[in-house]
Amino acid sequence: PLDAEAAIQAGADGIWVSNHGGRQLDGGPASFDVLPGIAKVVAKRVPVIFDSGIRRGEHVFKALASGADLVAIGRPVIYGLNLGGAEGVKAVFDHLNKELAITMQLAGTPTIEAIKNTPLVQF
């Protein structure tokens, strides 16, 4: 959160939350764990983009509910591209959208804005 504030003060147009490269830092916090604190500090001044471990529609839901404005999806798209070209990429997005829609229905959230207003229980 302190880095996000410093970036905004320096003129950043957005904050990207990612653990890319985090595998080299044993013991570093998980991106999902720091996302809510970063989103709170950012306070809607700039968009918060999240990536890191997004593999299912449920993960997209959790990221949005934790404060992300946008969710980036990398590895599944690359797998889809490798296995099926453009159709493989489309299949990945179709599957993620279907999973997200099911999760939204189960959570009673009809819109993305409703997801953003859904508190997650943390243990």
Q: Which residues contact 10 (CB under 8 A, 6 or more apart)?
A: none
Helix residue ranges, H only, 16-119 = 31-42, 57-65, 75-107, 112-116
Integer Cα distance of 34 and 92 in angstroms: 27
Establish whether 95 is a catalytic residue: no
Please state whether beta strands 15-17 and 48-50 pair in parallel, antiparallel, or not at all (unpaired).
Answer: parallel
Among 3, 20, 40, 112, the active-site one is: 20
Active-site residue numbers?
Answer: 20
